[in-house]
Structure 1
Amino acid sequence: MQTPASGAGGPRPPDGIDPIFDYPHTTGQCITGGYVYRGAQIPALQGVYVFGDYLGPEPGNVGRIFTFNYDGTSVSNFQDITRQLFPTKIGNYSLQNPASFGEDANHELYITDLGNGSVYKIVPATTSARINTIVTEPARN
């Protein structure tokens, strides 16, 4: 999303608030709002904003998942974590189009994927080889 400018879509409202972060269409095309992680399963994500982009930078590309830190004034540590969450296509854990995010009663995060009809829960990696990564798994009742 590019910061709005006067004339693009009409004049800016006098009480309008600019986004806290934007990126060019070479990064993505359609931001999917997310959540600040407040769960307990992944301490490294505490206080980090997790969000997505429904489409990649080129038409037909799959979406991506991003994170950044926000201290109330500025954004830092913008990262594309798609490959950490969806490292392989084994078990059909492949991201297509993240349409929404959700949060359960324990503040753990979920990703809904309109492209493949799945709901994924973001969980900590379980192997020592991936100690500082996070992965997704299909949500279960």
Structure 2
Amino acid sequence: MKRLVALALITLLAGCATQGKSESQIFDEAATAHVMSLPAGANKVRLHSVKIASHGVIGDMLATVLGGGANAGQLRQELLNAQRLGDSGFLIIGARSSIDVAVVENACEGLGLQGMNIYYAGTEAQQDKVRHAVEKAQARFHFINTQ
């Protein structure tokens, strides 16, 4: 029994240590895609970004149950600020866990983000659920794989 618990813990910790793209690489990929989506001659390019904070496995589970908590409120406010400024690009760097879905769903709930391009950097496991939340808010969804 002890070996099984130890094996599960090692597997969990190894999964947490998996390296993917750096934040700089993610931002560069999103910025390049966003610039390519702009109409010719656009002279104002701004890409807002928010990183969803991870609170560890147990903390993320609790935050997910609570609908993303403060992370959802922060993301919602930043989306509204970008929209108010007339900016069309927004990057969400996910925590690579199920908290991403809860945060994005609750942040986008009831918003009308027409004309906005939202770039979600996360894992394929959350991609479809995040896409659904973004498209429900009438924004265009773009996925960036963090691996």
Normalising by structure 1, we get a TM-score of 0.21
Relative to total residues, which structure has the larger helix share, 1 or 2? 2
TM-score, normalised on structure 2? 0.21
Q: Which of structures 1 and 2 has the larger relative contact order (alpha carbons within 8 angstroms, sep 6+)? A: 2
